[in-house]
């Protein structure tokens, strides 16, 4: 099938390449000329495992192309919209200007029978408004929320755990739903749940899923706060409650909290939308979820300060990790970088390292010092702060090896990912999150 993918960021570039890999003819469109140049050469403009190969194969097959021109969307049967919906500059609500502009640019190129498939995460009610704008062209709007996880985006796009399409009432909606079954035919053939809903449900499914995940993380981080004043160990607590299948262990990792381009802004946008709907109290707990999450960043910084005897001024702190999570170079609202910036603000000499995210981090926070090599970051450090659980730090950091590099023996495990007993046995002062 011929399709266009409008917006080629973390979501759209992967979506375009994945659709080409399953046999569709895809044109990826983005207003960012540099991104399009890179993608056209088969270069991934960001780090996502497996993306580069998929891009190269797609381009070599002739099924995958990229362009900065909306006119190139013409002739496609399905038009996916995956542009950004960031937090508004002056508030909590989502900024919908990119979605509005993408639709405006697409309108002249739509033909009767085309399907416009929104993938961006939007406030409930957005699809109904956009559908009214699209209706005169004879095209049909559906909403197809995306659940990919950065770091596993290729696999999640080709083989998702469920597909959700919000469609309008009537024949057009049913026809569009069938078309989406054809688009995602490999997943549909293997029996992946395919849920057809109305617009509002599809929009809400996405924000509800992220609200639930954020709440689960903040729940265990709230338990970490209680553990910290009672001497309990939150990791054992998580193991114990996680054995209950109704609770489950995943997303119960206490630590420095969640970040990235989705969870923080999505729960804030959900709160803002609920307020507009007169139902702010229904999701008032999300404000608390956000507050708990942000307190954990302060806590990690405080542990460094305490570990260094009450002041970090003039002390050298090695910060291991900049990306908001491993297997990604995404630093949007990264707790790791937030902690690094706060320590710098307190007068520490902060040396940041990360296997993939240094370039992005340097662009956003040029005041910090960056090194690509982990051991160079550790050399001469008074304290070590682990904030992104890359395997390079989680599994491969040997306390004896680190001892030979650092001046101090203070390690703060912002992700509870290190073997505390091994570090203590090697003579380190180990500080976890919510652990004695």
Do the beta carbons of residue 5 and residue 27 sit within 8 Å? Answer: yes
84 binds ligand NAD (CB under 6 A): yes
Q: Which stretch binds ligand NAD (CB under 6 A): 30-38, 274-282, 287-295, 358-366?
A: 30-38
- For the chain, the 3-state helix, strand and coil shares in percent, each to the nearest 5, are 45, 15, 40
Q: Which stretch binds ligand NAD (CB under 6 A): 99-107, 225-233, 270-278, 410-418?
A: 99-107
Q: Which stretch binds ligand NAD (CB under 6 A): 95-103, 129-137, 162-170, 307-315?
A: 95-103
Name the residue whose CB lies closest to ligand NAD.
Answer: 9
Residues between 113 and 132 that touch ligand NAD (CB under 6 A)? 120-121
Smallest gap from Cβ 71 to ligand NAD, in A, equals: 12
Q: Which of 39, 54, 93, 102 binds ligand NAD (CB under 6 A)?
A: 102
143 binds ligand NAD (CB under 6 A): no
Spatial separation of the C-alpha atoms in residues 361 and 255, rounded to whole Å = 21
Smallest gap from Cβ 75 to ligand NAD, in A, equals: 17
Residue 435 burial by Cβ neighbours in a 10 Å radius (0-12, 13-18, 19+)? buried
Smallest gap from Cβ 410 to ligand NAD, in A, equals: 34
Per-residue three-class SS string for 379-411: CCCCEEEECCCCHHHHCCCCHHHHHCCCCCCEE
31 binds ligand NAD (CB under 6 A): yes
Spatial separation of the C-alpha atoms in residues 319 and 327, rounded to whole Å = 17
180 binds ligand NAD (CB under 6 A): no
Do the beta carbons of residue 167 and residue 135 sit within 8 Å? Answer: no
Spatial separation of the C-alpha atoms in residues 157 and 138, rounded to whole Å = 28
- Identify which of 206, 148, 205, 208 has the alpha carbon closest to the alpha carbon of residue 328: 148
- Identify which of 303, 3, 21 has the alpha carbon closest to the alpha carbon of residue 153: 21
Smallest gap from Cβ 260 to ligand NAD, in A, equals: 7
Question: Which residue is catalytic, options 39, 116, 262, 292?
Answer: 262
Spatial separation of the C-alpha atoms in residues 127 and 181, rounded to whole Å = 20
Binding string to ligand NAD for residues 232 to 271, with x set by CB under 6 A, is what? -----------------------------xx---------
Smallest gap from Cβ 106 to ligand NAD, in A, equals: 8
Q: Which stretch binds ligand NAD (CB under 6 A): 8-16, 370-378, 392-400, 420-428?
A: 8-16
Do the beta carbons of residue 279 and residue 200 sit within 8 Å? Answer: no
Smallest gap from Cβ 7 to ligand NAD, in A, equals: 3
Smallest gap from Cβ 163 to ligand NAD, in A, equals: 13
214 binds ligand NAD (CB under 6 A): no
Backbone angles phi, psi at 314, to 5 degrees: 75, 0
Do the beta carbons of residue 259 and residue 338 sit within 8 Å? Answer: yes
Q: Which residues contact 136 (CB under 8 A, 6 or more apart)?
A: none
Q: Which of 11, 234, 305, 377 binds ligand NAD (CB under 6 A)?
A: 11
* 262 is annotated as an active-site residue: yes
- Residue 94 or 410 with smaller CB distance to ligand NAD: 94
Give the residue numbers marked as catalytic: 262
**Footprint on this chain of ligand NAD (rule: CB under 6 A):** 6-12, 29-32, 35, 82-85, 98, 101-102, 105, 120-121, 146, 148, 150, 261-262
């Amino acid at each position: 099938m011929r399709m266009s993918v409008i917006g080629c960021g973390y979501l759209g570039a992967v979506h375009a390449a994945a659709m080409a890999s399953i046999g569709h003819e895809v044109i990826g469109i983005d207003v960012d000329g540099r991104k399009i140049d890179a993608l056209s050469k088969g270069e991934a403009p960001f780090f996502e495992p497996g993306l580069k190969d998929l891009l190269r194969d797609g381009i070599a097959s002739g099924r995958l192309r990229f362009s900065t021109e909306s006119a190139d969307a013409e002739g496609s049967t399905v038009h996916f919209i995956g542009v950004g919906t960031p937090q508004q500059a002056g508030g909590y609500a989502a900024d919908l200007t990119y979605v509005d502009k993408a639709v405006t640019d697409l309108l002249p190129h739509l033909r009767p029978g085309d399907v416009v498939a929104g993938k961006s995460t939007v406030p409930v009610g957005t699809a109904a408004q956009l559908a009214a704008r699209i209706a005169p062209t004879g095209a049909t709007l559906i909403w197809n929320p995306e659940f990919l996880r950065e770091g596993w985006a290729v696999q999640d796009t080709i083989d998702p755990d469920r597909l959700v399409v919000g469609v309008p009432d009537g024949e057009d909606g049913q026809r569009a739903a069938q078309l989406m079954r054809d688009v995602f035919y490999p997943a549909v053939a293997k029996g992946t749940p395919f849920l057809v809903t109305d617009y509002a449900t599809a929009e809400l499914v996405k924000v509800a899923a992220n609200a639930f995940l954020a709440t689960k993380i903040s729940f265990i981080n709230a338990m970490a706060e209680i553990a910290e004043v009672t001497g309990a160990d939150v990791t054992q607590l998580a193991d114990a409650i996680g054995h209950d299948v109704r609770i489950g262990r995943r997303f119960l990792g206490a630590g420095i909290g969640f970040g990235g381009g989705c969870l923080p802004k999505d729960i804030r946008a959900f709160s803002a939308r609920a307020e507009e709907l007169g139902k702010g109290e229904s999701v008032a707990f999300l404000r608390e979820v956000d507050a708990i999450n942000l307190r954990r960043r302060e806590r990690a910084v405080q542990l460094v300060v305490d570990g260094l005897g009450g002041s970090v001024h003039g002390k050298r702190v090695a910060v291991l990790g900049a990306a908001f999570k491993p297997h990604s170079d995404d630093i949007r609202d990264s707790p790791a970088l937030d902690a690094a910036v706060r320590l710098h603000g307190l007068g520490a000499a902060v040396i940041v390292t990360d296997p993939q995210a240094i370039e992005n981090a340097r662009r956003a926070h040029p005041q910090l010092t960056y090194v690509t090599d982990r051991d160079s970051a550790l050399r001469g450090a008074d304290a070590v702060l682990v904030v992104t659980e890359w395997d390079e730090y989680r599994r491969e950091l040997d306390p004896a090896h680190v001892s030979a590099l650092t001046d101090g023996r203070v390690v703060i495990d912002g992700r509870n990912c290190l073997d505390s007993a091994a570090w203590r046995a090697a003579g380190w002062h180990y500080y976890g999150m919510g652990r004695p």
